[in-house]
């Protein structure tokens, strides 16, 4: 696994990203972290990748909701998602960082790489070149838990109890996320442990980053 050569944003802001399998606990953690920051008088900018422009596209919905997507080449979706992430990072996230904002992103460019590799495109190099146009996060959290537990959490949601899930793909995705985290100096956190333990670790890392950022201004 090669390192992604993203660029340093060089602003007084802070970019925090969360990646992992569906059901890994990102949404809950982001909600708790947001409440913590707000209590400290900090109003973060919450965002997600890919944006709705991609999420509402036919190719995205076909891949997410159905096992029948032979009419599409997965690279097409990856290219669409990657370009969306470049646009999102440079036109929404970067201006907010320049305004000294803390930006919290639910998923980031790492998810694009994980999905591409998990589907058998490990040799594709174009995504590493595109990564050079994407901001490097100040903290990149990767949430990890067994695939079976992640699927169980997803299935417990009323709106997703019948959702199509490719189990073998989820196992490959988990492996890719762990490898990407290691290669890119991310923070790997097991969310199979009690939620308060995971949250305490996230809060500690964010508090350190905020203090370090303030001292460097």
pTM for this model (two decimals): 0.93
Task: Using DSSP, state whether 119 is helix, strand or coil.
Answer: coil
Task: Give strand pairing partners of 190.
Answer: 144
CATH number for the segment(s) 14-216: 3.40.50.300
pLDDT in tens, 95-108: 999 999 999 999 99
pLDDT at 72 over 80: no
């Amino acid at each position: 696994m090669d390192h992604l050569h993203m660029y340093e944003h060089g602003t007084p802001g802070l970019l925090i990203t969360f990646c992992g399998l569906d059901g890994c606990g990102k949404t809950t953690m982001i909600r708790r972290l947001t409440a913590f920051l707000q209590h400290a008088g900090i109003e973060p900018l919450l965002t997600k990748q890919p944006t709705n422009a991609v999420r509402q596209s036919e190719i995205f919905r076909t891949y997410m909701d159905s096992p029948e997507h032979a009419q599409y080449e997965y690279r097409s979706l990856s290219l669409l998602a990657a370009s969306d992430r470049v646009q999102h990072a440079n036109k929404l996230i970067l201006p907010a960082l320049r305004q000294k904002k803390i930006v919290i992103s639910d998923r980031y460019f790492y998810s694009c790489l994980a999905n591409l590799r998990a589907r058998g495109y490990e040799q594709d190099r174009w995504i590493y070149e595109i990564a050079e146009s994407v901001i490097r996060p100040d903290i990149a959290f990767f949430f990890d838990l067994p695939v079976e537990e992640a699927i169980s959490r997803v299935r417990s949601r009323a709106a997703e109890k019948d959702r199509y899930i490719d189990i073998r793909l989820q196992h490959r995705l988990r492996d890719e996320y762990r490898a990407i985290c290691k290669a890119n100096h991310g923070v790997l956190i097991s969310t199979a442990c009690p939620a308060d333990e995971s949250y305490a670790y996230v809060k500690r890392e964010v508090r350190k980053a905020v203090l370090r950022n303030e001292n460097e201004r």
